[in-house]
Amino acid sequence: MADSFGHRPRGPARMLKATQWSLQGLQAAWLHESSFRLEVVLFVILAPLGAWLGADGVERALLVGSLLLVLCVELLNSAIETVIERYGPEHHVLAGRAKDMGSAAVLLVMFNVLLCWALILLPRLF
């Protein structure tokens, strides 16, 4: 629910409304996206582990933040897919390309999780 050139009032009431829209988005993702649910479950398991295994604040931020980034990109990917589905289920090459690119973005941030966790934790094992 974007502003149109700042004509809407700013302040606590507007921030509360924006928070409500964000929570609705999280609820919609939870209800309609199985990938998001799986990634949330993994976040709930791995985030405390990352916070515990991180030696300092930077390592903790990288371990937990990389997981949080997966959720963010999954939300964006789901938004792209939802908009495409809004226009109909028939196949269109550009719609397929957009969905594939969104999926690729999720894959890349998952590789980022593996890279961060490996670079931080593997040297401790060897």
Binding-site residue set: 14, 33, 60, 74, 81, 90-92, 99-100, 103
| Residues in the annotated binding site for ATP | 14, 33, 81, 90-92, 99-100
39 classed as catalytic: no
For the annotated binding site for a divalent metal cation, the residues are: 33, 81
Q: DSSP state, 9?
A: P
Q: Which helix (H) or strand (E) holds 21?
A: helix 12-32
> Residues 39, 59, 74, 85: which is the catalytic one?
74
Bind-site residues for substrate: 14, 60, 74, 103
| Distance, CA of 67 to CA of 19 (rounded, Å) | 22
6 sits in the region (left: phi over 0; alpha: psi -120 to 50; else beta) called left
Separation of alpha carbons 63 and 86, rounded Å: 36
Residues annotated as catalytic are 74
